[in-house]
Amino acid sequence: MSFDLFAEQPIQSFCDYGELLKTQLSSAPFPHPRRENGYTYGSQFYSREKHYNDSSVALFIPKGFRPTDSVDLVVHIHGWSSNIDTALGGHLLPQQLVASGKNAILVVPEGPRNAPDFFWGKLEEPGGFQHFIEDVTGYLFRAGKTTTRNIGSVILSGHSGAYHSISYVLKQGGMPETIREVYLFDALYGQKEQFVRWVDHSQRKMVVIYTDPGGTKSETQSLMKDLRALRIAYYACEETAVSPHDLLKNRVVFLHTDLGHDMVVHHRSQFRDYLRASCLLDS
């Protein structure tokens, strides 16, 4: 049975934009048996205690949020050598959600904390994502932030090394009909076959932004080639040339950018723009 270890913890730095809570859930990615003894990358060891023992989940409720019959969620998976706080603050996720005008709650779980690791523990297990989302909506309901446990649309977003966990969520996370859109922010380093299969079978929306130096260009171009072979239509252009209409009307979008790897989520308000063109209801 899932549980909350701590009461909600409002974080004042985002109070101008809405309410940011932190809780801890047993269904969060970590701790996990595969990282019980830590993890070594190159010559560096990352201990369980410092990097794989935090079950925190950040929940941001934007100002003007309207409780409805179901709860729409935007779940963001942070990248390598990062954490909840750097993802929220560095990539301006709460501010961008508010600016999008969408009536959804942002969910940011803690992954490998400040570690160069693509493994996301329980989220990669069969049914793990569904269990996590049910815990999140249950917590929000018990805390009086929503009026229902019903799950509406889910958007799955990730930066950098998030590709691995996202691919497993799409493959076996347990919510194939609920995940309506996927955003990969310079994150397509592998698992291409899983993304091809999801695009082909789900008929859902995917937006991919990629850089030259980030290491994702060849894999992204290979994915486009596979989609052409399957006669799956997509739209591709330079990021600076894409219009709101392009983001709205196309189901699969590839954007090449001149920005650096750590700038692709926020520097041009990309997260905001993708959400504006999303299936989410307006606030």
Distance (Å, whole) CA 189 – CA 163: 7
Smallest CA-to-CA distance from 8 within 112, 106, 19 is with 19
Average pLDDT in the 232-259 region? 98
Average pLDDT in the 53-58 region? 97
- Is residue 225 scored above 50 in pLDDT? yes
SS3 string, 87-99, reads: HHHHCCHHHHHHH
* 1: in domain: no
Average pLDDT in the 46-57 region? 98
What's the CATH code of the domain at 55? 3.40.50.1820
The beta strand positions in 89-223, using DSSP E, are 105-109, 151-159, 179-185, 205-210
| pLDDT on residue 15 | 80
Smallest CA-to-CA distance from 198 within 229, 226, 167 is with 167
| pLDDT on residue 25 | 98
CB atoms near residue 63 (< 10 Å): 12
Percent of the chain scoring above 70 in pLDDT = 95
Grade residue 6 by pLDDT with cuts at 50, 70 and 90: very low
Element of type H or E holding 44: strand 44-46
| pLDDT on residue 156 | 98
Residues 6+ apart with CB under 8 A from 167: 190, 191, 194, 195
Average pLDDT in the 185-192 region? 95
* 51: in domain: yes
Q: Based on the number of CB atoms within 10 Å of its own CB, is 33 exposed (0-12), middle (13-18) or buried (19 or more)?
A: exposed
* 283: in domain: no
* 220: in domain: yes
- Is residue 7 scored above 60 in pLDDT? no
Domain range for 40? 12-276
* 237: in domain: yes
Grade residue 16 by pLDDT with cuts at 50, 70 and 90: confident
| pLDDT on residue 155 | 98
Grade residue 214 by pLDDT with cuts at 50, 70 and 90: confident
| Rg of the chain, C-alpha, whole Å | 18
Element of type H or E holding 144: none
Average pLDDT of the chain is 94
Q: Which residue has the higher pLDDT, 113 or 176?
A: 113
CA distances from 275 to 136, 156, 157, 205 (A): 20, 11, 10, 12
| pLDDT on residue 170 | 97
* 31: in domain: yes
- Is residue 127 scored above 70 in pLDDT? yes
Q: What angle do CA 182, 175, 164 make, to 5 degrees?
A: 50
pTM, entire model: 0.94
The total number of structural domains in the chain stands at: 1
* 282: in domain: no
Lowest mean pLDDT among 13-17, 150-154, 258-262: 13-17
- Is residue 69 scored above 50 in pLDDT? yes
Lowest mean pLDDT among 4-13, 16-25, 27-36, 41-50: 4-13
Distance (Å, whole) CA 19 – CA 64: 11
| pLDDT on residue 10 | 43
Percent of the chain scoring above 90 in pLDDT = 93
Average pLDDT in the 207-215 region? 94
| pLDDT on residue 8 | 39
Q: Are 173 and 166 in contact (CB under 8 A)?
A: no
What is the amino acid identity at position 31? P
* 146: in domain: yes
